Structures are given as C-alpha cells and as structure tokens.
Structure 1
Amino acid sequence: MGLGGGWDAKPVSRANIAQANDCVNTALESGINFFDHADIYTLGKAEQVFGEVLAQRPELRKRIYIQSKCGIRFSDDQGPKRYDLSADWIRESVEGSLRRLNTDYLDVLMLHRPDPLMQAEEIARVFDELRSAGKVHYFGVSNMHHHQIAYLQQALDAPLVANQIEASLLKQDWIDEGVYAGNSDGQDINFNAGTLEYCRREHMQLQSWGSLAQGLYSGRAVSDKSEAVIRTSVLVAKLAAAYNVSPEAIVLAWLIRHPANIQPVIGSTDCGRIAGASQAGNITLSREHWYALYESAKGMELP
C-alpha cells in the first residue's frame, strides 16, 4: 500500500515507478508472485504505479496474481467517509482498478470492509456480471466475521476464496478468542468467535494484514514502547540468530506456524524487508518458541 508515493495528489514520479520495479523484482526473486492492492491505497497511485510496471513489462502479467479490494469511500462532496458495497460502486471500482493496473482482469477482488447496507443478492448479481465478462476470476472478503461471510455466501453461486483479517504478533485477538474461550478474562476480545474455524472449514484462504506489526519487532526503534514490545523485539532477534533468518521471517513464521495456513501480506516497499520476509517459509518454529513469542507479545502468562 506504500507504492506510488504519499497519500496526496502529487503525480506518480519516475522514482515511484523505479521503486515499484525494484519491489516487483525483489518479490519475484524471493518466490513471491501474489500482489495485494486496493483502489484506495495512496489514493489510487499504488495501482497506477504498478500498472506502469506492467505497461513497461507486459510479460509479467502471466507470471503473477493480482488481488485488489473495493468498498471504502473517503469523504467527498457527496458525503462522509463511508463503506459502499452497492453494485454500482463495485462495478465502478473494478473498472478503475483495471484501468490503473493496465490489466484486463483481476485474479481476486475483495470486499474491503463490511457495509451495513450491503444486499447479498445485489452483490451476487454484480459478481456474476464481472465474472462472466472475464474481469474478475475469484472473489473474497476482508475484515468480515463468519456470520457476514455466511450471509453473503448463501446468495453466491461460487465460493468466496479468501478472508483478509488483521493478524500479527502484535494483534493477537484472532488467537486470544480461542485461548480465552469460557474465560471471563477474555470478555473484551473483539474478534468474533468461530471466524477462524469457519474459514478453515469452508476452505477459505486466510490472509493477514498488518503482518509485520509495522516493524516493531524487526528493527524499528522501540525505546519508547511498552516493556512487552521491547522484550519481544529482543526475543525475535535472538530467534532470528538461532534459526539463521531475518527478524521479519521470525515474525511471519509465527503466523505461518498456525495450522490455518495463513497467507501474510507483507505490506512493505523496502526490498530488504521483502527479501527477509520471504525466508519465513524456510523454517518452522518449535511449539516452545511459538508460545514464547505469544506470551512475550501479550506481556503476561497464558490463563
């Protein structure tokens, strides 16, 4: 989401395009061929600069998978910030993404946030339209709990293939929900019990955003952070040395170790971090190391 420069009206520059090329090259060299976008990232410039890469190197399109998202609308002259999963907005968003990305189709389109006004049958019709036109191959959701997914799925002819949620060593609600089952200490957890299990049962790919925790455990200055963050940063560095991988790989390996087969979204434009993150697939954390990281990041012993 950092491609294309800042979240402003400045045009895409040659430096932005060069950065995007470097990121794509590093990803492919590291075995990463799945690229996550959204129509709103850097106000459309992330897709635009990626599209410039594809315009320069059209042969890449057959080597990669492109996923984008729609449904978040920022404040404008028509209204405040809002979510919009109407057929008209989904259709308009897809056309805009295809144009900016310089591609004829999206491999996956995700609904970015649940819209309280969404109508499943209306979404089903526009999904059918986009699939029949060859503009979108598969559909998924983001930030939805299992009741919302099931409601939407009952109207669709094809299965939703993925759900992207916030999950990381820093944001542990998705784990805590199960660990604190039946325990009053977990009454303030807001993840929604059963979502993880629903996605696994329905063979939906779970993706995680915020996976690297904004670099808190992999090199970012943490002297002003909590004791738990500082302690976990030290532990991550220690394990990185023990497993002979980057700190980023340890942070992602903690996610990947979960049997839900989570697909982490890296979310970085730093080529060193992209390459380092790719090492996560080369290791499997021991149960003891996984729990040591979990307990350290929580800042307390498990119940």
Structure 2
Amino acid sequence: MKQVAIGPEKNEASAVVQGCMRISEMSEAAVEKLIETDLENGITFFDHADCYSQGACEALFGRVLAKRPDLRDKITLQTKCGIVHGPEYTLYDFSKEHLLETVNASLKRLQTDHVDYLLLHRPDALVEPEEVAAAFDELHSEGKVLHFGVSNQNPYQMELLKKSVKQPLEVNQLQFSIKATGLVDAGINVNMTVDGSNVRDGSILDYCRLHDVTVQAWSPFQYGFFEGVFLDNPKFPELNKKIDEIAAKYGVSNNAIAVAWILRHPAEIQVILGTTNVKRVAESAKGADITLTRPEWYEIYLAAGNKLP
C-alpha cells in the first residue's frame, strides 16, 4: 500500500482510509472482519465522527477494539467533531466546552485513551479561535489527541484558527472525486470566462500543498452532494466506458481506477472509502498500487464532462 506523509513531522499513513460512517448496522463480527480485511490490504487508517449515527458507529468500533485489543496498535484512529444534530435542525459548535465534551465522549465510545487525529468537522460561523486553541491545548497536553486538523475549510478559515492554535493543522478533509473535481477545476481554467474558472474554495488544494496539509478526499465514488455513485451508472456512459477501458488495461476493478485517479495527483492525497463491502474494499485498495499516466488522468477528467481551455 502506498504511504503518504502527513503534516510537518511527515508521519506515514496509508493512502487509502477506511471510512466508518456506514458501519452502525453491521454486527461486531462483520466490523472485525472489515478491519482485518483493511489491514490485509494495507489500509491502516480509520476515519470516524462523533455524529455518525449519533455515536453508534464509534461505539460499535469501540466494542470491537475492546474485544480485540491487539488491533489498536496496528491502526491510526481519527475522529471528527463540531456537528450537532438536533431534532429540528443541525448546527455547528467549536466552543471549548463542546469540543472537550464531545472528544471525551468519543474516547469513551471508542474505548481508547487517545485518538491519533482530531478534525473540526464543518466550519462554525461563530468560531472563536481562542476557544478552539484552549480545547486543543488541553486535549494535547492530556495525551487524548496527538494530531489535529480540519474538514471542509478554506485557506482563510484555517489561517484564522492558526492565529491562536499552537498545534499544526495537518489534515483537511474535502470532497474530491472524478465527478466532483472542484479542487482542480479553477486551477485548470485560470482567468477563463467559464464556470470552471470560478474559485469557490480559495484555492485550498494549493494552500494545503504549500503548508504541508494532507488532503483527505471524501466520497471518492460519488457525484454531486451524495447524489449517488457514478461507477456503473447509466447516467455517465462515456465516463464508465473510459474507466472500464483503463481498468481492463491494469487488470483491476473500476473502483481501483477511481482511487488511482485521485492518488495520481502529486498532492499526496488520502482517499476515504465509504464502502463496508469487504470485496469492494480489497478491490479499491489495489488502486493505491497503480500510477496512471498523465494522458490517462486527463482522459478520465474529460470523459467526466470537463473541458480543457
């Protein structure tokens, strides 16, 4: 499995990450099997969030870790916090009190004394960087969180946090896939009078590369905002024809090519798998061992409906 270097300390991590958002309906045995399959295929990084199924995903994962304590030292454990799901609406909360409360609750559910990475899940419009800094300092000094990052934030949101936060922000989790190419579109269409030239994210990909921030790509097989999977989807015949053609060349599945396309970017991105199907996990992991040619990368980009100036 290809490794990527995270943050200024260049800590090595697997290029493919197991996302745990959908595990809540699985049995403990099935989750244990999923973890074992991940490890067998070189996937050692696991991504959670306190809001996934209102904590049920973390609790289930924690029960497996309690049953199999040998697994904890083999994995890198990440969780996210800051989203508050209420009965009528969702809000965001980066207050010191909320961050400390939710992290402690996550550790209890995960049945571990620390997480390797903690990310702020979605931007809080009412964020007070001093409160975030105070929470991070306490969590770090107590050994409850080793590394920190953000999710879905633009450069100035990160800079605002960095005004007060002492610890490096080492990760930014962002949407990126063959059918969600916003991270690269504006950079390709600079100064053009086309939709793709609109800079919607503050050039966050370039910012992350300049500041040693690892991008984690979520929903690598989805199009739109959770509208569905583009692979084998009759809505995208030209794209699937091109992906299948390249998959046949390398002797892998279309899932692997979707992963390889993201990993071909030199930013050393991590890909977060949402699937819990062990067969698809194993197939997808093979994408980390494929380096697409430059023409293949651009052919897929064009087949997805994008244009080059």
Aligned to 1:302: 308
Aligned to 2:12: none
The residue identity in structure 1 corresponding to 2:214 is Q
Runs of 4+ in 1 over 6 A off after TM superposition: none
Query: What secondary structure does 2:194 align onto?
Result: helix
Aligned to 1:236: 243
Does residue 164 in structure 1 map to residue 170 in structure 2?
no
For residue 254 of structure 2, the aligned residue among 222, 233, 247 is: 247
For residue 204 of structure 1, the aligned residue among 201, 213, 218 is: 213
Whole-angstrom CA distance in 2 between matches of 1:16 and 1:121? 41
Whole-angstrom CA distance in 2 between matches of 1:190 and 1:234? 30
What is the deviation of 1:23? 0.9
Does residue 16 in structure 1 map to residue 22 in structure 2?
no
What is the deviation of 1:200? 0.6
Does residue 216 in structure 1 map to residue 264 in structure 2?
no
With structure 2 as the length reference, what TM-score do the two structures score? 0.89
Deviations 1:199-254 (A, max 9, x none): 111101111101122773444xx23x2xxx22111211111110112211100111
Whole-angstrom CA distance in 2 between matches of 1:67 and 1:238? 35
Deviations 1:51-110 (A, max 9, x none): 11101101111111000000111123xx73101111111111101111111111010000
Query: What secondary structure does 2:46 align onto?
Result: strand
Contact 2:187–2:197 (CA under 8 A) maintained in structure 1: no
Q: How does 1:165-184 map to 2 (within 5 A)?
A: 165-184=174-193
Whole-angstrom CA distance in 2 between matches of 1:187 and 1:218? 23
Does residue 275 in structure 1 map to residue 282 in structure 2?
yes
Query: What secondary structure does 2:38 align onto?
Result: helix
Residues 183 and 83 (structure 1), Cα distance of their counterparts in 2 relative to 1, 3 Å cut: same
Deviations 1:120-153 (A, max 9, x none): 1110011000001111111100000001001111
Cα RMSD over matched residues?
1.5
Aligned to 1:84: 93
Q: How does 1:281-292 map to 2 (within 5 A)?
A: 281-292=288-299
Q: Which runs of 5+ in 1 are unaligned?
A: 6-14
The residue identity in structure 1 corresponding to 2:291 is T
Aligned to 1:9: none
Contact 2:189–2:197 (CA under 8 A) maintained in structure 1: no
Percent of aligned pairs with the same amino acid: 40
What is the deviation of 1:189? 4.0
Q: Structure 1 or 2: larger strand share?
A: 2
Aligned to 2:125: 116
Does residue 136 in structure 1 map to residue 156 in structure 2?
no
Aligned to 1:70: 81
Whole-angstrom CA distance in 1 between matches of 2:89 and 2:47? 26
Contact 2:50–2:58 (CA under 8 A) maintained in structure 1: yes
The residue identity in structure 1 corresponding to 2:222 is A
Q: Which runs of 5+ in 2 are unaligned?
A: 1-20
Whole-angstrom CA distance in 1 between matches of 2:302 and 2:279? 28
Aligned to 1:3: 23
Deviations 1:168-204 (A, max 9, x none): 1110111102112111103674632321111111101
Count of aligned positions:
285
Contact 1:87–1:123 (CA under 8 A) maintained in structure 2: yes
Q: Structure 1 or 2: larger helix share?
A: 1
Query: What secondary structure does 1:268 align onto?
Result: coil
What is the deviation of 1:46? 1.1
Query: What secondary structure does 1:284 align onto?
Result: coil
Residues 72 and 287 (structure 1), Cα distance of their counterparts in 2 relative to 1, 3 Å cut: same
Query: What secondary structure does 1:26 align onto?
Result: helix
Aligned to 2:15: none
The residue identity in structure 2 corresponding to 1:166 is Q
